């Protein structure tokens, strides 16, 4: 089995309402060094390790479903085969 | 005229849509379960609001995994009317049938009530029964009602008269260009975030949504005189 982590964030050009609210809250708590907060999500995929073109397949999964390219950017990390 | 109401797990406004078309408009609407959808025999497809697939991943996104989506795209490409309301609008953007995407409301919260819209385009098959710049009051209920398109797309929408409705007093939820409803390039697909099917009878607080459905029926009747 191969583990893949997909990190999804809102595009820089898109205002992040949650991040803006969290930034305000951090400033209220006295963390005055906070200049910006962006909130994203982590998607963990567990894939059949026998697949050879994992990278192509993961990109396809992201572009077809997991992320929305109008508003989101993504990057991914392919982990070591965890074996079973 | 036969309307299909395309129902996904989690659709909620399908019943309102059914009532508006069958009981008020006086046309014929049928529920079509997404998994066994056969849209070819219908004259129009309504994608109702609600929270399909629990709004998991992103609102409207998981409907892309349904076999109905290829059919819906083909139906839209055939030039017949497709209306997406609320979550139905989100599904149409996720499927790239309409431009843009939806973000969490600027104020983060779910909001509902009635909102004033301005009719911007009165030439489309969905809006020709309205007056230009007419202000209408339509119920809304959404948490992801913050419609986003980039600058370039916004200009393109404006130039081609594809913005059907705007929020009259600006979008509280943050929508780009105060857009409440947008048309596809061919003009046969409309997505609208507020819920016109909930404003079709005086007894439930107004009829400002009814001309939208009357417009669809009128255009169909004009094009199908021989069958009438």
- A17 and B107 within 8 Å at the Cβ level: the answer is yes
> Would you say residue A52 has pLDDT above 90?
no
Q: Would you call A14 an interface residue with chain B, using a CB distance cutoff of 8 Å? A: yes
Tokens of B20: 């508006």
Q: What's the pLDDT score for residue B36?
A: 87
Q: Are B144 and B59 in contact (CB under 8 A)?
A: yes
Q: Are B224 and B217 in contact (CB under 8 A)?
A: no
Q: What's the pLDDT score for residue B228?
A: 46
How distant is the Cα of B122 from the closest Cα of chain A, in angstroms? 28
Question: In terms of residue numbers, what domain contains A67?
Answer: 2-81
Tell me the backbone φ, ψ of residue B141, rounded to 5 degrees: -165, 100
Q: What's the pLDDT score for residue B226?
A: 61
Contacts of A68 in chain B (CB under 8 A): 58, 61, 94, 101
- B101 and A71 within 8 Å at the Cβ level: the answer is yes
Q: List the CATH number of the domain containing A77.
A: 3.30.1280.10
Query: Structurally, how many domains does chain A consist of?
Result: 1
Q: What's the pLDDT score for residue A84?
A: 41
Q: What's the pLDDT score for residue B227?
A: 54
B206 beta partners: B201
Contacts of B62 in chain A (CB under 8 A): 65
Residue B169 binned pLDDT confidence (cut-offs 50, 70, 90): very high
Q: Are B210 and B200 in contact (CB under 8 A)?
A: yes
User: Looking at residues B43-53, what average pLDDT do you find?
Assistant: 97
- A17 and B150 within 8 Å at the Cβ level: the answer is no
Contacts of A71 in chain B (CB under 8 A): 101, 103, 148
Q: Would you call B77 an interface residue with chain A, using a CB distance cutoff of 8 Å? A: no
Residue B21 binned pLDDT confidence (cut-offs 50, 70, 90): very high
Q: Would you call B65 an interface residue with chain A, using a CB distance cutoff of 8 Å? A: yes
B76-97 confidence digits (pLDDT tens): 999 999 999 999 999 999 999 9
> Would you say residue A49 has pLDDT above 90?
no
User: Looking at residues A39-43, what average pLDDT do you find?
Assistant: 96
Mutation target among B66, B98, B99, B104 for the A interface, most CBs of A within 10 A? B104
> Would you say residue A83 has pLDDT above 60?
no
Residue B224 binned pLDDT confidence (cut-offs 50, 70, 90): confident
B94-145 confidence digits (pLDDT tens): 999 999 999 999 999 999 999 999 999 999 999 999 999 999 999 999 999 9
Q: Would you call A25 an interface residue with chain B, using a CB distance cutoff of 8 Å? A: no
- Please state the domain extents for chain B: 2-227
User: Looking at residues A35-62, what average pLDDT do you find?
Assistant: 94
Q: Are B115 and B194 in contact (CB under 8 A)?
A: yes
Q: Are B107 and B172 in contact (CB under 8 A)?
A: yes
**CATH for B2-227?**
3.40.50.880
- B103 and A14 within 8 Å at the Cβ level: the answer is yes
User: Looking at residues A54-64, what average pLDDT do you find?
Assistant: 96
Q: What's the pLDDT score for residue B37?
A: 87
Q: Would you call B58 an interface residue with chain A, using a CB distance cutoff of 8 Å? A: yes
- B78 Cβ contact partners less than 8 Å away, ≥ 6 residues apart: none
Q: Are B117 and B168 in contact (CB under 8 A)?
A: yes
> Would you say residue A65 has pLDDT above 80?
yes
Q: Chain A window 63-82: which residues touch B at a Cβ cutoff of 8 Å?
A: 64-66, 68, 70-71
């Amino acid at each position: 089995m191969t583990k893949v982590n997909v990190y999804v964030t809102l595009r820089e050009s898109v205002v992040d309402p949650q991040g803006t609210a969290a930034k305000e809250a951090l400033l209220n708590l006295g963390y005055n060094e906070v200049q910006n907060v962006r909130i994203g999500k982590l998607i963990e995929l567990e894939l059949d390790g026998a697949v050879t073109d994992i990278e192509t397949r993961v990109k396809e999964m992201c572009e077809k479903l997991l992320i929305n390219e109008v508003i989101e950017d993504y990057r991914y990390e392919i982990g070591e085969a965890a074996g079973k | 005229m036969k309307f299909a109401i395309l129902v996904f797990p989690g659709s909620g406004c399908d019943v309102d849509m059914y009532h508006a078309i069958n009981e008020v408009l006086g046309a014929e609407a049928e529920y079509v379960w997404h998994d066994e959808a056969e849209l070819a025999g219908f004259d129009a497809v309504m994608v109702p609001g609600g929270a399909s697939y629990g709004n998991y991943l992103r609102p409207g996104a998981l409907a892309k995994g349904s076999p109905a989506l290829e059919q819906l795209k083909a139906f839209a490409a055939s030039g017949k009317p497709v209306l997406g309301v609320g979550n139905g609008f989100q599904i149409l953007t996720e499927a790239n049938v309409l431009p843009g995407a939806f973000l969490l409301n600027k104020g983060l919260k779910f909001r509902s009530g009635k909102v004033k819209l301005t009719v911007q385009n009165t030439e489309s098959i969905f809006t020709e029964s309205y007056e230009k710049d007419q202000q209408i009051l339509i119920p809304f209920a959404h948490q992801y009602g913050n419609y986003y398109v980039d600058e370039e797309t916004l200009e393109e929408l404006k130039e081609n008269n594809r913005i059907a409705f705007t929020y009259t007093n600006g979008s509280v939820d943050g929508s780009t260009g105060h857009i409440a409803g947008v048309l596809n390039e061919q003009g046969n697909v409309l997505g609208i975030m507020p819920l016109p099917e909930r404003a079709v009878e005086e007894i439930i607080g107004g009829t400002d949504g009814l001309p939208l459905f009357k417009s669809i029926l009128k255009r169909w009747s004009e094009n199908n005189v021989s069958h009438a």
